[in-house]
Structure 1
Amino acid sequence: MENVMQEVLIDKLVVNMGVGESGIRLNNGEKILKEITGQTPVRTISKRTRQPFNIKKGESIGCKVTLRKERAENFLRNALAIHENMISDYQFDETGGFSFGIEEHTDFEGMEYDPDIGIFGMDVSVSLRRRGYRVARRKQNRRKIPARHKVTREDAMKFLEDVFGVTIVEWE
């Protein structure tokens, strides 16, 4: 690529595990997420009370980890390998981000099933950017990013195909 500013990069990767309840199950989920990602997870809190699901407002019901740079890239390679390097085109949004789910934590290398812990699934959301996005986020002299510089859906698909060797499957 001739222009370095047009290069697509991984901004961040968020791994979210919604457990649905606090207590032992949430602690087990946090332990698994820490083992898989190598980072300490942060708890997510419910925004509303949901009586049918026995969830109260302000209760911890899940955990998440935000990965950046090399950690994000390494985790993404492992997570895509679980999906056999295939992603459907409907999993991409218009701003160049994409998400997919992993059904069982035991699919990761080195993770084994423990009947005391159970099986946990997780969602992986990836946000892509180009160099220069800091201009829109800085405090002083903030500017808008022009449309031609924003990552599009097609850019994200091409990035995954070129860098990670992912096959994009058209969904009907």
Structure 2
Amino acid sequence: MLTPRIDKITVHISVGESGERLKRAEEIIETVTGGRPVRTKAKKTLPGFSIKKGEPIGCKTTLRGKTAETFLHTCLSAAENELTTDQFDLNGNFAFGIEEHTDFPDMKYDPKIGIFGMDILVAVKRPGYRVKRRRVLRSTMSARHKLKPDDSISYIKERFNVEII
């Protein structure tokens, strides 16, 4: 009951502008993950970067279940199976970046598309976390059941053969 598991993986590419580059970023997310991307919009206007509030400037997709675990294996191999302790938060979740989408296997450089980097955000949880989020009979989690960074690090080390620096 206390063994951690992968809840979800969010893959995010921020382009900083709408238009053709955003469409190419969506194509890359779709080919790499197999999931359908959703556009992310700017939260506020930044005139220095010529970004308006509500303008789509990025895209993301969320993976769950077995597809999330297999995708995490490929992401960690693209990141050379190394993570640092700074990449883990206080709840045991972690995030890392991939500088070029060509680091994935079977992805080649295409001059029409260019090179995009992406952020990989992994949410780790224990069974029983639904108690915090459900609508009926919502309750708090005991401190013993909450996931700590050390628990998440040991789970990732043994499950995915990752070296923590």
- The reply to whether TM is greater than 0.5 is yes
1:122 aligns with 2:112: no
Identity percentage over the alignment? 51
Which residue of 51, 61, 70 corresponds with 1:74?
70
Quote the offset at 1:110 in angstroms: 1.1
Secondary structure of residue in 2 paired with 1:147: coil
Report matched runs for 1:47-62 at 5 Å.
47-62=43-58
Cα separation, 2, equivalents of 1:13 and 1:124: 7
Quote the offset at 1:85 in angstroms: 0.8
Quote the offset at 1:82 in angstroms: 1.1
Which residue of 21, 35, 60 corresponds with 1:39?
35
Moved over 2 A (4+): none
Quote the offset at 1:136 in angstroms: 1.0
Counterpart position of 1:105: 101
Cα separation, 1, equivalents of 2:111 and 2:163: 35
Cα separation, 2, equivalents of 1:57 and 1:71: 34
Secondary structure of residue in 2 paired with 1:149: coil
Counterpart position of 2:2: 6
Quote the offset at 1:147 in angstroms: 1.1
Unpaired segments ≥5 residues, structure 2:
none
1:16 aligns with 2:49: no
Unpaired segments ≥5 residues, structure 1:
none
1:167 aligns with 2:163: yes
Please report the TM-score for the alignment, with normalisation by the length of structure 2. 0.98
Query: How much is the aligned-residue C-alpha RMSD, in angstroms?
Result: 0.6
Secondary structure of residue in 1 paired with 2:144: helix
Cα separation, 2, equivalents of 1:20 and 1:117: 16
Deviations 1:29-52 (A, max 9, x none): 000100000010000000011111
Cα separation, 1, equivalents of 2:119 and 2:157: 21
Please report the TM-score for the alignment, with normalisation by the length of structure 1. 0.94
Deviations 1:99-145 (A, max 9, x none): 00000001111111111111000000101000011111111111111
Secondary structure of residue in 1 paired with 2:141: coil
Counterpart position of 1:87: 83
Name the count of aligned residue pairs: 165
Cα separation, 2, equivalents of 1:26 and 1:60: 8
